[in-house]
Chains A and B, each alone.
Chain A
Amino acid sequence: MQLDEFFVTGEPLIYGAMVSIALVTAAIIFILTYFKKWGWLWREWLTTVDHKKIGIMYIISALAMLFRGGMDALMMRIQLAFPGMNFLNAQHYDEVFTTHGTVMIIFMAMPFLIGLMNIVVPLQIGARDVAFPYLNAVSFWSFFFGAMLFNISFVIGGSPDAGWTSYTPLAGAAMSPGPGQNFYLLGLQLSGIGTLATGINFMVTILKMRAPGMKMFQMPIFSWSTLVTSFIIVFAFPILTVALALMTIDRIFGSQFFTLTGEGMPMMWTNLFWMWGHPEVYIVVLPAFGIFSEIISTFARKQLFGYKAMVWSMIVIAGLSFLVWVHHFFTMGMGAFVNSVFSISTMLIAVPTGVKIFNWLGTLYKGRIQLTTPMLWSLAFIPSFVIGGVTGVMLGMAATDYQYHNSYFLVAHFHYVLIAGTVFACFAGLVYWYPKMFGHKLNERIGKWSLWFFVIGFHVCFFPQYFVGLDGMPRRVFTIIPEWMPLNVISTVGAFGMGMGFAIFVYNIYYSLRYNEREKSGDSWDGRTLEWATPTPVPFYNFATVPHVEGLDAYLIMKEKGQTTFDEANLKPIHMPSNTGQPFIMMSIMFVASFGLVFEWLWMAIAGLIGVIVMMAFRSFDYNDGFYVKVDEIKRTERSARGL
């Protein structure tokens, strides 16, 4: 292979990106070397098994991916603003919408939420870490290297261009030769392994490590949403694993699963993809529901209305999420009977979702509402999500779907549910739990500016797309006709509003770090659940003494009784896991193996896989059982953290 085939060439935009990637990398290396921070990076972050630090790394990576996916979005909006634009050519446009979709779902939404789960769930249930801290680090690094692998396709080898759904036969070897599609397959595969492990990890954590006395129906609602999400992950991700593996084997080893030759069945890919893909939608939206429930309850200063109904509606949604996948391809031609069955099951999902909407409204009713930034994000969510949900029911009717499918109406619908649901929740959750993570709040005034820019920009961007879709504009076209121009111009303006909102949000992180006052207590918002019972910054062992839980909103009860998580008389040594560099090393070898497979250099892939197996064997012989934190050290840490 020639060097000019290895690197992507011939695009000024990509040359610019290469230069900026080189500069940023050089700058990071320089700063780490100049301030002698390499040891710190390794000891504190790369080898950590602490759920809070892993959560922070997830969120930082997710914000970086949000930036990348957002840049893709802005490039598309520039190209589509006017007819005959020459900003991106057809090929480049295809690559950009493919990477935009994939990055946003797999490398932004999920890791962002998993990051919040990592930080919050063990604290909420009164645990000192997750059930398998080592595995948690493996999960993070597999996501991280999967995301890296997918993102380097941009400068090395060329990006995938068959859409985030990558339908065969278009995505097969015959019509998409070269490494681009392999980057998609292996990037997703690598990060998917980590997601599955996370699902198992959180299920065991929540089922086995709750504080004494905490019954299932006394768990905070975000922990419940995590449990239900983990359940979906455990059952949905293996389907993706297989689907990706089959397409990889098709492309690299010449099997005939999804090909047009050898009696292969390209539609089987679509079927398998959406068997995972629809549950995936709920994997990114159920935790969002959990976040909004926590925030609305905290800032309405009321117990969550209809707590049990909320839990059961999530369970019902989880069950139904596995029974509706066909609505993503009604027009593929399964026939009226199949379509009717899935049309009905699809509309059923609106029922438990409606229950949740009314419960949020019920929580707000007669509450003493505090309009903080996280609360405003949550309030913005409710009507926006309803618009997305109602248009979803329209799309769910198979007969009318023949009109809407493949148009901007659909694009508008899923952005309304995914942005108003997931992205608003990510921002809301980050602002809400930010003081727990970093010891200071984000500035409220700047936070509200970023919120208004983002929310208004969002509606300006996507509301017109419903209408331009009804006017007949198909999705995934790189150029528009003059009739569609006015609505597209509005849409582009809105997209830049969202970009502005994100920029202000990032600036707020910097501003608050410099100027916002530090938290004095751990209870930043007068919270109701156990994460606020810990001091800020949270000691690495979380709870000096694990509280005994007596009901829903456990910390509220503790505050009424004057209890804390620092009961000096009952301190005992705490057992904690040791840091280890193995997950990082193992997954970086896995990265090398996957990279080899992308370019079909089998020697490299095999060598890498052997390396991974050696690392696993090494782990099997590793009997390091962690260490005990001494009572004196706990006393010292707690006294300084609590200002005693």
Chain B
Amino acid sequence: MSAHELKSGPLEYRSSQGRMNILGFWIFLAAEIVLFSTLFATYAVLFGRTANAPTPGELFEPSTVLVMTFLLLISSFTCGIAVHEMRRGSVKGLITWLIITLVLGLGFLGFEIYEFIHYTHEGVTLQSSAYWSSFFILTGTHGLHVTLGIGWAILLLIQLAKRGLTPVTSRKVFIISLYWHFLDVIWIFIFTSVYLIGMVV
């Protein structure tokens, strides 16, 4: 299965296995779109069903949400720079920018945990009402993805430090960069349809 090896082009596309893994991951991301859209659909259907709990307009804080959004947007940008550095062949640049990405991701997670704890103190939890169940599960699923992404990236950093840039490591980095950008795409929709609309309606 090692046929069609390429001599030029980005390292991650050179082996046929690398190209197949990247394609498989794109297909996985398409499945992830449907997974999140089901959560968005549940959120939309259950919107306004807060029962006796406070409404989102009473609790959402524009400043916190904006900070979280910028952290994730910047991390998506730095992740893109990391791949740019990888394609220039710079392991050092790649590792540096990847670590910056991770720190920003951790910052995002910190704010999200703070936000959840804050809401709990205000008296809304997963059990409060249909609306709040869907809110916590939608944002929580995204947060869980970010957490897994951070753990995964740390494993990759160790491999990069040990092995440098090979077709295998660069393929892995490219795939996690797709994952990371994708989480930003999902967050854009959470920011818009959960937070902004929640504050407007």
Contacts and interface: CB of A to CB of B under 8 A. Distances in A.
A613 B154 CA distance: 13
Contact of A255 (B21, B39, B127, B152): B127
Interface string A200-235: 110110011100000000000000000000000011
Contacts of B152: 620
B1 interface: yes
Interface residues of A, number: 48
28 contacts: A129-B1, A199-B31, A204-B23, A209-B20, A234-B34, A238-B34, A238-B38, A241-B35, A242-B38, A243-B38, A246-B42, A246-B137, A249-B133, A253-B127, A255-B133, A255-B136, A256-B132, A262-B129, A262-B133, A263-B46, A263-B51, A265-B45, A265-B130, A272-B42, A275-B38, A617-B151, A620-B152, A621-B159
A200 B1 contact: no
Contacts of A27: none
A249 B41 CA distance: 17
B88 interface: no
Contacts, number: 126
Contacts of B32: 238
Given A196-B31, A234-B31, A272-B38, A623 B168 contact: yes
A316 to B, nearest CB: 20
Contacts of B20: 131-132, 204, 208-209
Nearest to B28: A200
A537 B134 CA distance: 53
Interface string B17-50: 0011101100110111011001101100110011
Given A131-B24, A272-B42, A262 B51 contact: yes
Nearest to A208: B20
Contacts of B55: none
Interface in B137-160: 137, 151-152, 155-156, 158-159
Interface of A: 128-129, 131-132, 196, 199-201, 203-204, 207-209, 234-239, 241-243, 245-246, 249-250, 253-257, 259, 261-265, 268, 271-272, 275, 575-576, 613, 617, 620-621, 623
B69 interface: no
B66 interface: no
Contacts of B132: 256
A253 B19 CA distance: 41
A114 to B, nearest CB: 17
A616 to B, nearest CB: 9
Contacts of B131: 263
Given A234-B34, A613-B151, 10 more contacts: A203-B27, A208-B16, A239-B34, A255-B136, A257-B46, A257-B134, A263-B51, A268-B45, A275-B38, A620-B156
B126 interface: yes
The list of the 10 closest CB pairs from A to B, nearest first, reads A263-B49, A238-B35, A255-B133, A242-B38, A238-B34, A262-B129, A264-B130, A254-B127, A256-B130, A575-B2
Interface residues of B, number: 43
A257 B42 contact: yes
A325 to B, nearest CB: 12
Task: Give the secondary structure class of B's interface.
Answer: helix
Task: Give the secondary structure class of A's interface.
Answer: helix
Contacts of A204: 20, 23-24, 27
A242 B39 contact: yes
B130 A263 contact: yes
A212 to B, nearest CB: 9
Contact of A268 (B46, B129, B136, B156): B46
Contact of B127 (A196, A256, A617): A256
Contacts of B16: 208
Contacts of B45: 265, 268, 271
Nearest to A574: B1
Nearest to A618: B155
Nearest to A626: B1
A620 B155 contact: yes
B155 A257 contact: no
A623 B151 CA distance: 19
A72 to B, nearest CB: 30
A200 B159 CA distance: 26
A63 to B, nearest CB: 29
B30 A268 contact: no
B50 to A, nearest CB: 7
A234 B155 contact: no
A27 B1 CA distance: 41
Contact of B1 (A128, A238, A242, A272): A128
A303 B159 CA distance: 52
Given A256-B133, A263-B129, A575-B2, A207 B23 contact: yes
Contacts of A249: 126, 133, 137
A250 B126 CA distance: 10
Contacts of B34: 234-236, 238-239
A275 B38 CA distance: 10
A275 B20 CA distance: 29
> Which of A131, A201, A235: most chain B CB closer than 10 A?
A131
A240 B93 CA distance: 41
Nearest to A197: B28
Contacts of A263: 46, 49-51, 129-131
Contacts of A254: 126-127
> Which of A132, A263, A621: most chain B CB closer than 10 A?
A263
Contact of A257 (B28, B35, B130, B151): B130
Contact of B155 (A129, A235, A255, A621): A621
Contacts of A243: 38
A93 B135 CA distance: 38
Contacts of B38: 238-239, 242-243, 272, 275
Contacts of B128: 256, 262
A234 B42 contact: no
Nearest to A255: B133
A255 B31 contact: no
A259 B21 CA distance: 41
A201 B25 CA distance: 10
B133 A257 contact: yes
A200 B24 contact: yes
A254 to B, nearest CB: 4
Contacts of A250: 133
B49 A265 contact: yes
Contacts of A268: 42, 45-46
Nearest to A572: B3
A255 B137 contact: yes
A264 B42 CA distance: 11
Interface in B142-184: 151-152, 155-156, 158-159, 168, 172
A102 B128 CA distance: 32
A201 B39 contact: no
